[in-house]
Structures are given as structure tokens and as C-alpha cells.
Amino acid sequence: MSTLPNRVEHQLTDKGYVPVYTTAVVEQPWASYSETDHTTWATLFARQQDVLPQRASRTFLDNLARMAMHGDAIPKFDELNIALRKATGWELVGVEGLLPELTFFDHLANRRFPVTWWIRKPEQLDYLAEPDLFHDLFGHVPLLMEPVFADYMQAYGRGGVKAHGIGGDALANLTRLYWYTVEFGLIREPEGLRIYGSGIVSSKGESIHCLESQAPNRIGFDLRRIMRTRYRIDTFQKTYFVIDSFEQLIDATRPDFAPIYAELAMQDSIPAGDVLESDQVFNRGSGEGWAHDGDV
Ligand code: PHE
Ligand code: CO
């Protein structure tokens, strides 16, 4: 029987009731993983090994191979950390689950990536409402091996601390950027559109949907546009944004956001599925299957 996550309470936020956990860093209780837990990891890993070649970014796939995260058993954070520290100076720390924003930003700003130590149940292979070990580790960690992306993540953490201090909608604007890049980003590679977002690479269904379905919009990266765009937390995204390179991403996000937040405060948010005149459109979504409400 596994140790259970130390859930503190449920807290009502603008996203409904969300679980709040202890914010402390915890030792990965590796010996407590059950046979079922290891099998869940192995199943999810094998499914993505199947789906991701030709779909995930070269950079993601190369780094995944390079860090020797394998499908035999749940990896040990301590072992992954050896390669990670060497590659980019990042390290993984174990946590019980989603952290308060400022705690999360502080970790990133110091090149620590918080990883939820527990894994989903076998009946949750396709969907669960909060990040687990598979999402955090398989989804996020390979790109932390890549210097430019590793720097972007740290800059985001620093930007988060700053946005938190600014108040108003600054944090909402910044969170949308994270959502549409780190979690659900696409990248244009010589062979075509590829996935780099961790929310996609850790989901079999969305890995296929985001590239092959006609339903969603696929639109060129545009910082201010993204920071105004609402998103989905409980269905596939209605819109994906496409970068040309990680250099483009880090260059576009280098300027001071304070004046941008002030500018955006005077503009409306954009519904998740809208296409604008000014968009660089790779695919105009058919909108098939879209829920008509529920953008956050
Ligand atoms: N340049 C941003 C700011 O001044 C910081 C940032 C960098 C935010 C990268 C997100 C991503 O707030
Ligand atoms: Co994530």
C-alpha cells in the first residue's frame, strides 16, 4: 500500500475547489510505490513511446533519450538529478501536489522543479484533474535538460514573483503564457508541426488531437495575444500556439512585462476558440465537439 499524499484541505478559488497540499519539499518515498504504481508508469510510458515519434519535438525526444528515463519502473528523482544538474543546473524536488503560486515561482526562479511524487490510479490513465508524477516527470523534465528552455523556465519563475507583486490581472496574463507555451505549446520544425508542451506529451489523446484533429485552431505565437487568451482546463484546448524555436520564445519574453500588463489591463480577454484578423493561422479550427462555456 502506497503512502498517501498529505492533502491539507480543499480551497475555493476562481477555478472551483482545488486541493491544497503541504508546501514542503518531501523526499520521494520510492520504496512505497506499489507494483500497480510501477505498472501504471510503464503503461503510460510505453503508450507515449508509441505516439510521440513523429509528433513530439526533436528536442523533447532527444533529451528524453539522453536522460535515460525508462519505462521499467518509476524513476528515482536522485538519479535523474545527476544528469539534470550536469546539463543545466536544474534539480527536481518532490512535492505533494499543486503549490501556491508564489511557492511555485520561487522554486522555478531557483532552478528547482517541483514534481508531484504520487502517480495516478490505473483507471485514470487518460485523464485526471490535477498533475501527477507522470505529467510532472515525463511531461516537464526532458526539456529542462535543454539550456534555452531551462533558462526560459527560470525567467518565468522570476517573472511570476514580479507579477505576483504587481497584482491585478498580471498573474492571469502570465499564467496564460505558461499554459499556451510550457503546458500546451507546439513548435514548427523542418518536418512540420511538433509538440513540446508537457500537458500534451503526457496525454495520449491530446498528442494525437492537437496535431491531427481539424477541430482546434493552430495559430502563430504572439505574446500579447496569448496573454489575453482564456483556456480550457477540463477538455482538449480549442487553440494551440506555435513557436518557430525556443530562441523565439525566450527573446519574445525577455522585455519587462510591467508595461505590457498595464496595456493589457485595458483590453478584453479573448475566448479560447476565437480567431482574430491579426492571427497567423496554420489551421482554422472547425470547432467540432467544443463545449460552449467553461473557458477559464
Ligand atoms: N520578462 C518577463 C517580465 O518582465 C519575465 C518572463 C520571462 C516571464 C519569461 C515569462 C517568461 O516579467
Ligand atoms: Co504541468
Q: Determine contact, residues 125/144, Cβ cutoff 8 Å.
A: no
Q: What is each CA distance from 219 to 66, 185, 223, 228, 288, in whole angstroms? A: 31, 10, 12, 14, 17
Separation CA 247–CA 194 (nearest Å)? 16
Q: How far is the CA of 120 from the centre of ligand 2 (A)?
A: 14
Given ligand 1 and candidates 104, 158, 250, 256, which is best to mutate, with the most ligand atoms within 8 Å of its CB?
A: 158
- The answer to whether the CB of 164 is under 6 A from ligand 1 is no
Nearest ligand, measured from the Cα of 176: 1
Place of cell 492533502: 7
Judge whether residue 15 has pLDDT over 60: no
Question: Of all atoms in ligand 1, which is nearest to the CA of residue 254?
Answer: 1
Give the pLDDT band of residue 220 (cuts 50, 70, 90).
very high
Judge whether residue 2 has pLDDT over 80: no
pLDDT of residue 114: 97
Judge whether residue 8 has pLDDT over 70: no
Give the pLDDT band of residue 68 (cuts 50, 70, 90).
confident
- The answer to whether the CB of 162 is under 6 A from ligand 1 is yes
> To which H or E segment does residue 53 belong?
none
Judge whether residue 179 has pLDDT over 80: yes
Given ligand 1 and candidates 156, 161, 166, which is best to mutate, with the most ligand atoms within 8 Å of its CB?
A: 156
The percentage of the chain sitting over the pLDDT mark of 70, rounded to a whole number, equals 93
Nearest ligand, measured from the Cα of 155: 1
Q: Kindly report the number of other CB atoms within 10 A of residue 274's CB atom.
A: 15
Nearest ligand, measured from the Cα of 134: 2
Separation CA 212–CA 180 (nearest Å)? 18
In the structure grid, which three cell numbers stand for residue 183, read together?
503546458
Mean pLDDT across the chain, nearest whole number? 93
Separation CA 116–CA 173 (nearest Å)? 25
Give the pLDDT band of residue 11 (cuts 50, 70, 90).
low
- For residue 264, the number of C-alpha atoms closer than 13 Å in the C-beta half-sphere is 22
Q: How far is the CA of 67 from the centre of ligand 1 (A)?
A: 28
The whole-model pTM stands at 0.92
Higher pLDDT, 218 or 7: 218
pLDDT of residue 294: 82
- The answer to whether the CB of 256 is under 6 A from ligand 1 is yes
